């Protein structure tokens, strides 16, 4: 039997320096922000132990909302707590954004720097991650055939999950899209991460970015659960796009688990990713393994139809996802991207850029546009173009200001994040030696196992605190 839905997001943030004369190198500023979060802002407890070879003591820590801030490859990264609902997950995702921006404000540096929630550095060609985590049962068909049913969906979902970007990055050897050496110079494509995906399956994250990461690291009871870890997606600012990305992917995993997912086989999925993202006409035509043409929207329709047939009516989140999925595909099929403004990030950004170009009489190669592209992702509400659209009521919402503010301080109430946060809060009042991990907590040398993400562990945490004389 498949478990209920449980998911989380991990976001690596870029840093935009407005005033280099401040004299703080970006890598130093990231560490100062981390220190301010934990030492001044008191968002949680900093790690006092080695978590891995690249995570020394003090690299990051767990938060009172059940999530985690840490530094990864020079970027500050935020992992949401374990969430069971789409609106809940979106609120916790945005909570990390707000905490980071507020920290710059508290430090008096918001005029000099901004965090940006995107996936590319135009100067170096580097990419930042936007990872997704989905819990499935251990009997999920984690095989080439089973995961092969997921790949076509992931390749084509970028038509509504892409964040959009100017131009293109390098083309890996052997993947000269459309056979045209000038094709990488396209003015705009719908996804930021596709240029950096080089294989369909691979175990490690940093050295060979794949459509599906196959590392077996459940962060839960390994006898009962497995974690599907995806790193091919873009960072979304649109709440609608975030919810739809996670909602549709969770449903497709359900279909695969039940053995009713569409049997679609795409020819060369890595190349198909790039074909779809870079198609200037947005026809999104690719080929099946048998050579027959098919469009990304047709592939998505196959999965949507299966979801409506087998999963409809099982929960409010599932029904919202199916309805939003169908409405989005209907609007995409018209070929009018303006119909997606306010819901899909790439369409909203394109609308802004094209409007600005027309007003200022610019061409796509004007460097001004790169600045505007980055400003779409700026987490400063006074600067970010996304926030301008939101303030005008143009962005579809899944949260409220109140739900985001609560998610900054309080954990989800139906997962083990609740017990973890309770222990954190107690230790912040009554310090004692500690060590926190996703699946366990050590205090005063005593151990509390938290291997079931669906348990709150609140009762167990109270008993544990008495055991270590903290209650």
Name the residues annotated as catalytic.
Answer: 72
For residue 118, count CB atoms less than 10 angstroms from its CB and return exposed for 0-12, middle for 13-18, buried for 19 or more.
buried
Q: Could you tell me if 271 and 200 are in contact, meaning their C-beta atoms sit under 8 angstroms apart? A: no
CB atoms near residue 449 (< 10 Å): 11
DSSP string across 388-444: HHHHTT-S--S--HHHHHHHHHS--SSSTHHHHHHHHHHHHHS---EEE-SSEEEET
Task: Please classify residue 26 by burial: count the beta carbons closer than 10 Å to its beta carbon, then call 0-12 exposed, 13-18 middle and 19+ buried.
Answer: middle
CA-CA-CA-CA dihedral for 354, 358, 361, 366, to nearest 10: -10
Q: How many angstroms from the chain centroid is the CA of residue 355?
A: 28
Tell the burial category of 400 from Cβ atoms under 10 Å away from its Cβ (0-12, 13-18, 19+): exposed
In contact, 159 and 300? CB cutoff 8 Å: yes
The whole-angstrom separation of Cα 86 and Cα 318 is 10
For residues 389 and 342, the answer to whether their CB atoms sit within 8 Å is yes
Position of tokens 């087998």?
Answer: 310
Location of structure tokens 């688990």: 257
Q: Any idea what DSSP says for residue 315?
A: -
The answer to whether the CB of 182 falls within 8 A of the CB of 168 is no
């Amino acid at each position: 039997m498949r478990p209920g839905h449980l998911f989380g997001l991990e976001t690596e943030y870029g840093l935009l320096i407005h005033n280099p004369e401040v004299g703080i190198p970006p890598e130093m500023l990231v560490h100062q922000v981390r220190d301010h979060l934990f030492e001044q802002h008191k968002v949680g407890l900093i790690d006092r132990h080695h978590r891995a070879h690249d995570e020394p003591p003090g690299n990051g820590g767990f938060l009172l909302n059940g999530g985690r801030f840490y530094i990864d490859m020079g970027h500050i990264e935020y992992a949401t707590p374990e969430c069971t609902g789409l609106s809940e997950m979106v609120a916790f995702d945005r909570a990390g954004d707000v905490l980071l921006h507020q920290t710059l404000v508290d430090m008096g540096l918001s005029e000099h720097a901004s965090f940006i929630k995107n996936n590319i550095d135009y100067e170096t060609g580097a990419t930042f991650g936007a990872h997704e985590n989905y819990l499935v049962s251990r009997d999920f068909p984690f095989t080439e055939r089973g995961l092969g049913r997921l790949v076509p969906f992931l390749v084509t979902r970028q038509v509504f999950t892409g964040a959009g970007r100017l131009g293109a990055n390098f083309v890996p050897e052997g993947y000269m899209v459309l056979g045209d050496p000038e094709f990488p110079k396209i003015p705009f494509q719908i996804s930021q991460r596709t240029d950096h995906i080089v294989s369909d399956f691979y175990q490690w994250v940093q050295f060979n970015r794949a459509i599906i990461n196959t590392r077996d690291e459940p962060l839960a009871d390994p006898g009962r659960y497995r974690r599907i870890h995806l790193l091919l997606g873009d960072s979304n600012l649109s709440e609608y796009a975030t919810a739809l990305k996670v909602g549709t992917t969770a449903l497709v995993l359900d279909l695969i688990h039940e053995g009713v997912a569409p049997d679609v086989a795409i020819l060369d999925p890595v190349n198909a990713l790039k074909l779809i993202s870079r198609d200037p006409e947005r026809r999104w035509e690719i080929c099946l393994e048998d050579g027959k043409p098919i469009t990304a929207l047709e592939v998505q329709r196959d999965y949507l139809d299966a979801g409506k047939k087998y999963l409809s009516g099982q929960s409010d989140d599932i029904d919202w996802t199916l309805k939003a999925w169908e409405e989005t595909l209907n609007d995409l099929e018209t070929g009018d991207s303006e119909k997606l403004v306010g819901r899909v990030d790439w369409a909203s950004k394109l609308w802004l850029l094209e409007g600005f170009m027309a007003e200022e009489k610019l061409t796509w190669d004007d460097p001004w546009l790169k600045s505007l592209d980055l400003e779409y992702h700026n987490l400063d509400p006074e600067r970010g173009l996304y926030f301008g659209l939101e303030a005008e009521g143009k962005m579809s919402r899944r949260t409220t200001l109140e739900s985001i503010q609560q998610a900054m301080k309080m954990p989800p109430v139906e997962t083990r994040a609740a017990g973890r946060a309770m222990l954190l809060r107690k230790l912040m009042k009554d310090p004692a030696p500690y060590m926190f991990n996703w699946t366990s907590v050590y205090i005063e040398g005593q151990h509390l196992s938290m291997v079931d993400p669906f348990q709150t562990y609140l009762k167990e945490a109270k008993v544990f605190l008495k055991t270590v004389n903290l209650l």
